[in-house]
Structure 1
């Protein structure tokens, strides 16, 4: 995973710089999402892993599936990645691009896991607090995990907060065991 991220980052950054310069972030976002979906398809995985397939055959499959949705610059990206045997990293390129796009648009994604359903009032307070903390529009997805016993876990990118009762009980148990 870390290796794919390292491989994908320069491609994502180059595409992002181009998309930003040409003000085509949304179009590139859609194109990369479609290319990633093609790459993740089980049949396409077999094609990518088949040593008898030529680069032109593989690029032809992408072009045929994408049709008019594949721009000339998209073809150039595919060609560059194929030349360097990096096509399997296309999904990660799309993910890295979305992260850069979200940062540019001052949007952040967060996941909140709670032991119980979060009320609308609690959602509003969490949203306001996270928007202020990250100085961005935070898109929050909520999950319920009764095993937490109580409290919440919040994850935003690399930042995490674990205020669950389960974690506190585990820490207490570890302290007692020593």
Structure 2
């Protein structure tokens, strides 16, 4: 996974820069999402792993599936990635492109995990606090994990806050053990 992220980053950044310059981020977003879905297909994964398959064969499969939805620039991306044997990273390219686009649009995704269902009032307060902290429009998904006992965990990209009772009990146990 880390290897695919490393491989995908330069492609995602190049496509993002091109899309930003040409004001075609939405079109690239849709095209990359479709290419990523094709790449994630089990049959396609098998074809990509087959060393007997040529770059031209791989590109022709993408062209056949995408039809008119594949732009000339999209085909150029496929050609470059195929020549470098990087087509397996297309789904990750799409993911990283979306992250770049969200950051550019000041949109961030967060996950809030709580021991109990979060009320509307709590959701509003959390949303306001996270929007202010990250100076962005934070899109929050909520999950319930009863094993936390109480409190919440918040994850936003690489940033995390663990205010769960389980975490506090684990810290207390570690402190007592010392």
State the TM-score, normalizing by the size of structure 1.
Answer: 0.98
Q: For structure 2, which runs of at least 5 residues remain unmatched after alignment?
A: none
What corresponds to 2:134 in structure 1? 134
Render the CA deviation track for 1:86-131: whole Å, top value 9, x for unaligned.
Answer: 1111111111100100011110000000000000000000000000
Q: CA deviation at 1:34?
A: 0.6
CA distance in structure 2 between the aligned counterparts of 1:54 and 1:40, rounded to whole angstroms? 19
SS in 1 for 2:150: coil
Q: Following superposition of structure 1 onto structure 2, how do residues 12-161 of structure 1 map, counting pairs within 5 Å?
A: 12-161=12-161
Q: CA deviation at 1:174?
A: 1.1
State the TM-score, normalizing by the size of structure 2.
Answer: 0.98
CA distance in structure 2 between the aligned counterparts of 1:6 and 1:57, rounded to whole angstroms? 25
CA distance in structure 1 between the aligned counterparts of 2:12 and 2:49, rounded to whole angstroms? 23
Q: CA deviation at 1:2?
A: 1.7
SS in 2 for 1:111: strand
Task: State the 4+ residue runs in structure 1 displaced beyond 6 angstroms.
Answer: none
CA distance in structure 1 between the aligned counterparts of 2:128 and 2:54, rounded to whole angstroms? 52
CA distance in structure 1 between the aligned counterparts of 2:20 and 2:83, rounded to whole angstroms? 25
Render the CA deviation track for 1:50-81: whole Å, top value 9, x for unaligned.
Answer: 11111111100001011111110000000000
Q: For structure 1, which runs of at least 5 residues remain unmatched after alignment?
A: none
CA distance in structure 1 between the aligned counterparts of 2:74 and 2:127, rounded to whole angstroms? 36
1:168 paired with 2:178, answer: no
What corresponds to 1:5 in structure 2? 5
CA distance in structure 2 between the aligned counterparts of 1:27 and 1:119, rounded to whole angstroms? 37
CA distance in structure 2 between the aligned counterparts of 1:145 and 1:136, rounded to whole angstroms? 27
Instruction: Give me the CA root mean square deviation.
Output: 0.6
Q: CA deviation at 1:49?
A: 0.6
CA distance in structure 2 between the aligned counterparts of 1:8 and 1:157, rounded to whole angstroms? 18
